[in-house]
């Protein structure tokens, strides 16, 4: 059962543009929503994360917007750079499940120079 749905599968953005990746979840017991960035041949690395008691979190060029009622959250990358080209995964966690992460399918982002 896919509990976290992510879109789009791939995204091409021009340098300086805004990249937006969306995720939707089903289980209201999720209590923590991280985004991971993965470069080829590397493991995923935590980029930014949010809890459901806030609607937005910003760290530098990266912002998470969270809509609890719609059970959706999104990652916005402002002023996208070629170095941001990577695969991005949203995830969700339930503490009651041992804090395992449930991942979306991933979005391959390409930022053209």
Partner 1 sequence: GAGVSQSPSNKVTEKGKDVELRCDPISGHTALYWYRQSLGQGLEFLIYFQGNSAPDKSGLPSDRFSAERTGGSVSTLTIQRTQQEDSAVYLCASSYSPATDTQYFGPGTRLTVL
Q: Does 101 help bind partner 1 (rule: CB under 8 A)?
A: yes
Residue found by looking up tokens 């985004």 in the block: 35
Nearer to partner 1, 34 or 66 (CB): 34
Provide the total of helices (H) and of strands (E) in the chain, helices listed first: 0, 11
Residue 83, SS3 per DSSP: helix
Contact letters for partner 1, residues 14-53 (x by CB under 8 A): ------------------x-x-x----xxxxxx--x----
CB 14 within 8 A of CB 20: no
Q: Which stretch binds partner 1 (CB under 8 A): 52-60, 62-70, 71-79, 88-96?
A: 88-96
């Amino acid at each position: 059962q896919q509990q976290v749905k992510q879109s789009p599968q791939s995204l091409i953005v021009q340098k300086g543009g805004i990249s937006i990746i969306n995720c939707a979840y089903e289980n209201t017991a999720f209590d923590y929503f991280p985004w991971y960035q993965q470069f080829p041949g590397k493991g995923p690395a935590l980029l930014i994360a949010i809890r459901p008691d806030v609607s937005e979190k910003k760290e530098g060029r990266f912002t998470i917007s969270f809509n609890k009622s719609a059970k959706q959250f999104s990652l916005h990358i402002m002023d996208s750079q070629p170095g941001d080209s990577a695969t991005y995964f949203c995830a969700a966690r339930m503490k009651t499940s041992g804090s395992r992460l449930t991942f979306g399918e991933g979005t391959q982002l390409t930022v053209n120079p």
